[in-house]
Amino acid sequence: MHSDPAVWRGPDIERGSAGHGAVGSTTFTLLGPLEVLKDGTDYAPSAPKVLQLLAMLLLRPSKLVQIDSIVEELWADEPPRSVRTTMHTYVYQIRKCIEQNQLAPRERNCSSPSTRATCSR
């Protein structure tokens, strides 16, 4: 585990029995330019508002972030007319980046009896 408070490392996950390959850890750096590092490659989004939203979400791990807070952070007093659509697009872009680059472990199949107990943790 890295001791720098500006770095958050995702867990190293291995799922041999579930049919998934090993997933390396993803590291997020928040001081200086935001980086999303996995296996030496930076996968951080390049769009400024998407990057700003990702930083906001990383600063609030495991917390619900209200839409109003996101709007205030990204646009202050001048949100675009299509603010909700734009915000949903930014969230979609973050999710797409995470999925395409395998930056998070795959979700477990919670309907399977062998994984049901671990899904509630």
Please tell me the pTM assigned to this model: 0.69
CA distance 13 to 16: 10
CA distance 26 to 10: 5
When the candidates are 1.20.1740.10, 1.10.10.10, 1.10.1040.10, 1.10.1670.10, the CATH number that belongs to 7-105 is 1.10.10.10
Nearby residues of 115 by Cβ (< 8 Å), 6 or more positions away: 18, 108, 109
Which tens digits make up the pLDDT trace of 20-71?
Answer: 333 468 999 988 899 999 999 999 999 999 999 999 999 999 999 999 999 9
CA distance 28 to 62: 15
Q: Other CB atoms closer than 10 Å to residue 27's CB: what's the count?
A: 16
